Amino acid sequence: MNKKRKELIVSAITNGTVIDHIPTESVFQVIRILGLDKTNRQVYFGTNLESKKYGLKGIIKISDKFFEKDEINKIALVAPSATLIVIKDYEVVYKSDVKTPERIDKIVKCFNPNCITNKENVETHFKVVYDEEGKMKLSCRYCEKNTSKANFVFV
């Protein structure tokens, strides 16, 4: 009986971060907002991968990169189901689901062109809110307009 290989193995990273359980439609957005499309680090990614928990998922592995709070907040905004896994010397040293913060400061632009943050040198501040359908929105502290996920512009 001929046994065919059923999976491909992606190289383990020595040190770095794995972002797992990314919604498939958000993988390339996560790559862009983190600047991974312009990095000189090794980046592995996969999309439309089978997942027992989500059906399909995406994954990104970045060598020699450990994310700061603002970067993790960006991930949480576009991929709230994501899991961060920190690798050191080929071992998992930390694993956690991303958590959407209650406030977002300085990383997203207000979509309202008349907002003071778009007219003067004022940092943005948003409260994370959810509409009646449970969809995340950002409510601007200054103009009080709500920005939906489709309109997030990262700075």
Q: What is the pLDDT of residues 80-125, one digit of tens each?
A: 999 999 999 999 999 999 999 999 999 999 999 999 999 999 999 9
Tokens 């996920």 label which residue?
149
pTM: 0.86
Note the pLDDT of residue 53.
Answer: 80
pLDDT number for residue 8: 60
Sign, CA dihedral 81-106-15-27, equals positive
Q: Which residues make beta-bridge pairs with 87?
A: 16, 92
Contact residues for 85 (Cβ-Cβ < 8 A; gap 6+): 17, 18, 19, 20, 92, 94, 95
Q: Give the mean pLDDT of 51-77.
A: 93
Other CB atoms within 10 Å distance of the CB of residue 82: 23
Task: Delimit the domains of the chain by residue range.
Answer: 16-97, 103-154
Q: Which CATH class is domain 103-154?
A: mainly beta
Give the architecture (CATH level 2) of 16-97.
2-Layer Sandwich (3.30)
DSSP letters, 64-126, are T----HHHHHHHHHH-TT-EEEEEETTEEEEEEE----SEEESSEE-S-TTSHHHHSS---EE
3-state SS assignment for residue 139: strand
